[in-house]
Structure 1
């Protein structure tokens, strides 16, 4: 085997990540990962993105994977570093985002002898943190073998697992293994997601054809896993057929242009803005659920009127028609079958459903409140924008917007970890450099992860960051005890933050009136190649329509 081309474990892993589209590696250095980093960064095409902390690195890798429709990757050191990132990994697991967590570990000899090292509990158990990650990753490995072929096989197995599951994976690399020589030959064969079982696809297609006998329309409810499988074009091609209607869940808003004749807008159970759209989903027979997730926040606190068990479901790795399950039918092939069946069904052309305006028209007056703010934003939004909205006020305000063509909404409706979106903006901006990120984040949420804003600006990204300053945790005030001391936060001078974080050239503005907001929006629109931070002062107890509905749902659920 010595005559075969060789590389190192670190270089091999980096090459595989670049092949999978994870060409930006987020993270922080630490003594146990320095040799690994040195090897990984010898690989052309891998860009190191140093983060301000490990949690932010995990959030950034998640945003990169979501917007780029690919794998994301970040690197931490052992123990203290990897534990700091666990909340971000958990969010990726909850929302089906394939993120690779690479951990630089102590040397095998240190672990084998139970050496009392820093970043440990001094008890000789060096696999404890890997076991912690086992609950929030789909596949894991610690590269502790001496066999070079086994080392590359393990890397490939775990990375292939990320492709197959669409969830995070964990790769631990001991310090001495990072530089170990391994064969480079396998790199010539790219890793690919598993293929469908052709027999299962044929059986599913036949059953689907029978299910569509004598139907007058095809109604799709599309969820965020369609993004994970990069099947947006397949949804668009089906939506172009006669007799098709498409509603989206909150995590996949605008997957279809919201002005499209087939669009039913965003479905949220009883809180759906359009009664006609809600009825179209609830009475569909069959309803076709594509990449959906079923939770309190995606169903309007379980006020949905459809029966998921009776629906046709196209999941990542299987399909289902009622109670009949077809394992091994991948989403891409299931959508191709659906398109063929709908085409052959020759469904009648449907009149578009009249959707109500999703944001209020601009009104006269001097008060800047939630209704006025989102109305002004609606008029201002441009095509080809990545709209990023933080859990709480921002996300549920943005859901009532009608996004411009070729735009995305990035949020975290299932895990809903506050502070996620600011580092995710870094990942999103690097994954889609042709789209300007527009971030909406509350003042309380921003305080959790604000450090990464310095990295955003240092990387040359030009987002428009709206800090919604309503003096505390508005979503929690809506749920319970609005005047409790724990709802308050320390007031910051937000317009000075970019300068403090190393970006004095960022344009910072504060809006306390509608005129000031319009002026700020006009300046941001007129300078698309510049970064802006706009602090928007809003009433302390004011909330968007959907947030008020959410709070009532939580109150009912908790009761």
Structure 2
């Protein structure tokens, strides 16, 4: 029988939409319920399979891929055991506004309808348990039927585009190979535009608000990044009378050498006092794409009242207590820039910040390496346009004290803070931006959670620099409570042997570092060879922490003391 050329299979339709949206790398693992789906998807030109070592790592890698491209990423898992392994990663994408498409290959429709007691199920005849679980961590989802599969795929993907949140698609094995009309593929998917009436009303409200202000302070968050609105933020920063600070996850989103950049704000934990005062005491404060979580605000120690600020969110804005629905963040920033230009603020002097804000004590190059010496050595060696990836823990707090060079960015996960996230994440950054050098800083405890993804990175010929900060355990937890508890320790690993185990025959630079001089030589060699991956094991004392993490420990101690006092 001749198949009409105007049809494609559901799997092919989904893959073509992903290619259209820039999600060309397909992360995941095969399983018997997704094999037909994978066969159909991989028939589509432009789709590249990235097989991972487990589904959680696949979700982490897809998340970082989407962050780096400012677009959509996708992973494919099998039903039940596979999708539940990935759910932690998808929850992190939900918390941090990352549009990852979780695709599950399900049992065929007939087996689902009759409640067959299949493997990977709970053996109760209900095959929708896990689809329901995903409702808690995604913006929307669907279990596809052949009759309306194309319509549902388009609906779900548009929600991902519009909300910058993860979505869920479950594809029964028979539906994966069912044929659907390909005509909708002629029209690309786009998020709904801003409501022009609401945007005009917002313009008027902003003009009234800025009319009596002498200048404007912007606190920018990660949602600006998710909406690809860094250009609009930079244009706003170029306006006279504007200063811009960034929350933790948005560090260097505005170039840190920009004359309007106040650097990173973190409530009472803000490194620079001038930055903290500029935000907390702002005459007119704009919260642009912010999520004011505990880590972002230094344990809620921010000194401003969010209700008194202009708030620009992904799909709405609030000015003087009035909410303007259906306005996109990128459009809100553009309108604010126009209003500020029309207002004509007087110019402000360039921000005169010194760096580092916390001076590192003098350290002999042959003394045992300290956290201060580690980050001071790194500071002078981060190349332009690098993607610096830092895991939750000492690496996060050390990296926040770096002044990043032109074009470099910091990828962290401050809200979900799932340790081990960043090792698979560097796979995502390398694939998303192969022309840029990815540099990973991760603690030894965190790295042990996801270490096997090193195999995927090396076998694919990717060239990150991986710095394992070996402090014999969970030092961030030691800072918070019970530093000598047995559960804070991890077993010792020889990270220099990892390439031989995970990728025998692949040429990898390795170095064991115990002094500042050794670290300088290792980083110079690793960063000086763009054609070779590197793993550098850096030994520091278990109780040594970056200054910013020490501040966190002091703040937690004060809160615990106050709680005990009643």
Is TM-score (shorter-chain normalized) higher than 0.5? yes
**Partner SS state of residue 268, structure 2:** helix
> Within 5 A, what are the aligned runs for 1:318-357?
318-357=316-355
- Distance change in 2, residues 1:72/1:557 (3 Å): farther
**Partner SS state of residue 518, structure 2:** helix
For each residue in 1:240-267, what CA deviation from the matched residue of structure 2 results, as whole angstroms up to 9, or x when unmatched? 1111101000000000111110000000
**Partner SS state of residue 476, structure 1:** helix
The answer to whether the 8 A contact 2:271-2:548 is kept is no
The answer to whether the 8 A contact 1:471-1:488 is kept is yes
Distance in 1, Cα, partners of 2:4 & 2:432: 39
Aligned-pair distance for 1:557?
Answer: 4.3
Query: Which residue matches 1:231?
Result: 229
Distance in 1, Cα, partners of 2:449 & 2:86: 14
Distance in 1, Cα, partners of 2:106 & 2:43: 20
> Within 5 A, what are the aligned runs for 1:54-133?
54-133=55-134
Query: Which residue matches 1:448?
Result: 449
**Partner SS state of residue 270, structure 1:** coil
For each residue in 1:177-233, what CA deviation from the matched residue of structure 2 results, as whole angstroms up to 9, or x when unmatched? 100000000001111011000000000000100101122211110000011100011
> Within 5 A, what are the aligned runs for 1:461-472?
461-472=462-473
Query: Which residue matches 2:541?
Result: 539
Structure 2 residues without counterparts, runs of 5 or longer: none
Distance in 1, Cα, partners of 2:500 & 2:405: 31
The answer to whether the 8 A contact 1:4-1:183 is kept is no
Query: Which residue matches 1:510?
Result: 512
**Partner SS state of residue 255, structure 1:** coil
Distance in 2, Cα, partners of 1:33 & 1:362: 56
For each residue in 1:360-389, what CA deviation from the matched residue of structure 2 results, as whole angstroms up to 9, or x when unmatched? 468341131000000000011110100000
> Within 5 A, what are the aligned runs for 1:19-418?
19-144=20-145, 146-147=146-147, 150-358=148-356, 360=359, 363-365=362-364, 366-418=367-419
**Partner SS state of residue 460, structure 1:** coil
Distance in 2, Cα, partners of 1:553 & 1:164: 37
Distance in 2, Cα, partners of 1:448 & 1:442: 10
The answer to whether the 8 A contact 1:368-1:538 is kept is yes
Distance in 1, Cα, partners of 2:492 & 2:132: 40
Distance in 1, Cα, partners of 2:456 & 2:501: 12
Distance in 1, Cα, partners of 2:414 & 2:320: 27
**Partner SS state of residue 177, structure 1:** helix
Aligned-pair distance for 1:70?
Answer: 0.2
- Distance change in 2, residues 1:349/1:458 (3 Å): same
Query: Which residue matches 1:523?
Result: 525
For each residue in 1:525-547, what CA deviation from the matched residue of structure 2 results, as whole angstroms up to 9, or x when unmatched? 32122211100000110001111
Aligned-pair distance for 1:320?
Answer: 0.7
**Partner SS state of residue 549, structure 1:** helix
Distance in 1, Cα, partners of 2:337 & 2:306: 21
TM-score between both structures, scaled by the size of structure 1: 0.97
- Distance change in 2, residues 1:557/1:21 (3 Å): farther
The answer to whether the 8 A contact 2:12-2:40 is kept is yes
Higher deviation after alignment, 417-426 or 450-459: 450-459
> Within 5 A, what are the aligned runs for 1:547-558?
547-557=549-559
Higher deviation after alignment, 283-292 or 203-212: 283-292
Count residues with an aligned counterpart: 555
The answer to whether the 8 A contact 2:224-2:330 is kept is no
For each residue in 1:438-473, what CA deviation from the matched residue of structure 2 results, as whole angstroms up to 9, or x when unmatched? 000000000000111111112221111000000000
**Partner SS state of residue 26, structure 1:** strand
- Distance change in 2, residues 1:362/1:483 (3 Å): closer
Distance in 1, Cα, partners of 2:559 & 2:426: 32
Distance in 1, Cα, partners of 2:293 & 2:48: 36
Higher deviation after alignment, 353-362 or 193-202: 353-362
**Partner SS state of residue 534, structure 1:** strand
- Distance change in 2, residues 1:44/1:302 (3 Å): same
- Measured on the aligned residues, the alpha-carbon RMSD in Å equals 1.3
Aligned-pair distance for 1:285?
Answer: 2.3
Distance in 1, Cα, partners of 2:515 & 2:170: 52
TM-score between both structures, scaled by the size of structure 2: 0.96
For each residue in 1:66-124, what CA deviation from the matched residue of structure 2 results, as whole angstroms up to 9, or x when unmatched? 01100111000000000000100100001111100000000111111111111112110
Query: Which residue matches 2:15?
Result: 14
Distance in 2, Cα, partners of 1:152 & 1:362: 62
Aligned-pair distance for 1:429?
Answer: 1.1
Higher deviation after alignment, 357-366 or 457-466: 357-366
**Partner SS state of residue 535, structure 1:** strand
- Distance change in 2, residues 1:374/1:360 (3 Å): farther
Distance in 1, Cα, partners of 2:300 & 2:98: 24
For each residue in 1:377-410, what CA deviation from the matched residue of structure 2 results, as whole angstroms up to 9, or x when unmatched? 0011110100000001000100010011101100
**Partner SS state of residue 29, structure 1:** coil
- Distance change in 2, residues 1:469/1:3 (3 Å): closer
Aligned-pair distance for 1:3?
Answer: 6.1
Higher deviation after alignment, 48-57 or 360-369: 360-369
The answer to whether the 8 A contact 1:499-1:505 is kept is no
The answer to whether the 8 A contact 2:437-2:463 is kept is yes
**Partner SS state of residue 446, structure 1:** helix
